[in-house]
Chain A
Amino acid sequence: MMDLLTIVPAAFLASIWDWFALAEDGSVTFGWALGRLLLLLLIVHIILILSALMVWAERRVSAWMQDRLGPNRVGPEGLLQPLADLGKFMFKEDVIPKHVNKWMYTLAPAITVVPAMIMFAVIPYTGTVDEEGVATSWQIANLDIGALYVLAVAGLGVYGITLGGWASNSKYSLLGGVRASAQMISYELSLGLAIVPVILMTGSLNLGDMVNWQSQNGWLILTQPLAFFVFLTSSYAETNRLPFDMPESETELVAGYHTEYSSMKFALFFMAEYTAMAVGAALAVTLFLGGWTFFGLEKIHWTVGVLIFSVKVLFFMFAFIWVRWTIPRFRYDQLMRLGWAIFLPLMLVNIMMTAGALALGWSWLLWILPVALLGTAFFVAWLGWKRDEDRYQPLPTSPPAGGEA
């Protein structure tokens, strides 16, 4: 009787599991396709809920950093605040000003939010590890050109913003849109170049393979700290977050590209920003921090992999908020100079070094950069401590005429 109670449900579950699997010969079955679709729906909803919760987190964390409490009234700790916000967005009047290009104006929010969401398709969220320690990642779509797909789709997001700014037919919106496109061109470049060393070292464009490589050879942040830093900074610029929120810059452009938007159209822009943040965080984790792996902890079960991945992603999401409430906005020329004059050459040098080291088989060369960076960091810290006074300009010996000082 006991056997029946344990075996039958287990067999039942296993049969369901098998039904969702690929056929023996690897061909696509109906169950497999349905399973993919369900998975897709699940993950899309997780992202949407996550981005809603990020709005809450953004407000709470920014409040804490400013000695305030933030929204804590709706639900426990204010957790239902996103729902209240959503209700507000839903019931607000959806104003379409007379002077806008109606077709483009309506299209723009959708164009912004879709690329941000579909990027998640190629990101491995968990996987299995066999006895030899060879990891197999699970994605929605196991694309062999995952990295290229990510770069291509990330570039699409800006069309919505630029289009929204242009279709709004107002000065500030147009300026915001133009800034967005200029910024995207500048930072897309260093973003792509920052990924190149990762591709070189892992020898694959598949994001799952990158995680597997890292689980065996160590995280790439160790050998490519500079690329990681530039990737992270560029992803801040890509998602239009402070310190690079030039397209929005509420203090100078009155919210830039979405000035003319209201109701759910505005909410879509908002959602796109937070989804893009989630994607940026997930990419940084996947490319440089070993994705869903954590020093063998992922071998326990595939659910642990999900947990590890979530924790890492949430940390980077927090970092997005953290940086936003710490660093003021860059000036436009500073932004451009940082992108073209600093990040671009840095990344080119980085690629050359990595490629050279791999071509010559000098693995020690790969370690020069991190070691040099660490050395510089220590040097900087030492210099900072050493006689801070020396760096002050001397006071004039006598005060200027007429001065009482």
Chain B
Amino acid sequence: MTATVKPVRRRKATFIDRLYLPAIFKGLSITFKRMFKPKVTMQYPEETWTVGERYRGVPVLVKDDEGREKCVACSLCEYVCPPKAIYIVGQELEEGNKVERGPAVFDINMLRCIYCGLCEEACPEEAIFMSKQYTVSGATREELVFNKDKLYELGGVRSKGVKKWKDK
């Protein structure tokens, strides 16, 4: 292998070039014009990004149109979660519910979560989703373990997707 050589046309510095004055004034005019160009700075707390459709933010739990918890506590997400951030305790639901099982406890430790989105992929009920929430902060470690209520509050209702329990 020989090195690829690309001849570059170089300009010889003339006397005028070596005075530097034309270059300096050109530079000054460029910086002056730049002052009035639109700025690229985004003023964060007031202005925020629009994140992409498939952005992976905080994982959240959702309810269906009827306000029913979609999660059936199958623990697939708990099993697949690489950093073991999810903790689920399932419970049997009383007679009259469309499904037999639901989560009694559903904690996601946001200090451990790596936002990989595997829980969303593993969920057979489409009950857990990666939201667009990217600001996670807390004063204590306990605050950053999101419990079921918090996760439903963040997730809300999602009417799209599978509705296999609708007419049961």
**Measuring CB to CB, which residues of chain A are less than 8 angstroms from any residue of chain B?**
61, 63-69, 322-323, 325-327, 380-381, 383-384, 391-396, 399-400, 402-405
Contact = CB atoms under 8 A, between A and B. Distances in A.
Q: Helix, strand, loop or mixed for chain A's interface?
A: loop
B152 to A, nearest CB: 37
B27 A327 contact: yes
Nearest to B13: A391
Contacts, number: 78
A380 B12 CA distance: 16
A144 to B, nearest CB: 37
Contact of B4 (A64, A65, A325, A404): A404
B43 to A, nearest CB: 7
B2 interface: yes
Contacts of B12: 391-393
27 contacts: A63-B39, A64-B35, A64-B36, A65-B31, A67-B39, A67-B41, A68-B40, A68-B41, A69-B39, A69-B41, A322-B28, A326-B27, A326-B30, A326-B31, A380-B16, A380-B22, A383-B14, A391-B11, A391-B14, A392-B11, A392-B12, A393-B10, A395-B7, A402-B5, A403-B2, A404-B4, A404-B5
Given A323-B28, A327-B27, A405 B7 contact: yes
A400 B12 CA distance: 21
Contacts of A327: 24, 27
B9 interface: yes
A69 B39 CA distance: 7
A63 B40 CA distance: 11
Interface of B: 2-7, 9-12, 14, 16, 19, 21-22, 24, 27-28, 30-32, 34-41, 43
A331 to B, nearest CB: 13
Contacts of B21: 380
B21 to A, nearest CB: 8
A226 B85 CA distance: 73
Given A393-B11, A400-B5, A61 B24 contact: no
Contacts of A395: 7, 9
Contacts of B16: 380, 383-384
A86 to B, nearest CB: 25
A381 B23 CA distance: 11
A374 to B, nearest CB: 13
Contacts of B2: 402-403
A72 to B, nearest CB: 8
A393 B10 CA distance: 6
A403 B9 CA distance: 16
Q: Helix, strand, loop or mixed for chain B's interface?
A: loop
B31 A325 contact: yes
Contact of A399 (B7, B27, B34): B7
Contacts of A393: 9-12
A66 B36 CA distance: 10
B37 to A, nearest CB: 6
Contact of A68 (B6, B10, B27, B39): B39
A285 B35 CA distance: 25
A223 B153 CA distance: 77
B31 A322 contact: yes
Contacts of B7: 395-396, 399-400, 403, 405
Question: Which of B6, B12, B37, B41 gathers most chain A CB within 10 Å?
Answer: B41
Contacts of A402: 2-3, 5
B36 to A, nearest CB: 8
Nearest to A391: B11
A66 B35 CA distance: 8
A64 B10 contact: no
Given A380-B16, A380-B22, A402-B5, 11 more contacts: A61-B35, A63-B41, A65-B34, A67-B34, A69-B39, A326-B28, A380-B21, A393-B11, A396-B7, A399-B7, A404-B5
Contacts of B34: 64-67
Q: Which 6 A-B pairs have the closest CB atoms?
A: A403-B5, A402-B2, A64-B35, A69-B41, A326-B31, A65-B31
Contact of A392 (B10, B22, B36, B38): B10
A67 B38 CA distance: 7
A393 B24 CA distance: 23
Contacts of A381: 22
A237 to B, nearest CB: 15
B23 to A, nearest CB: 9
Contacts of A380: 16, 19, 21-22
Contacts of A65: 31-32, 34-35
A261 to B, nearest CB: 30
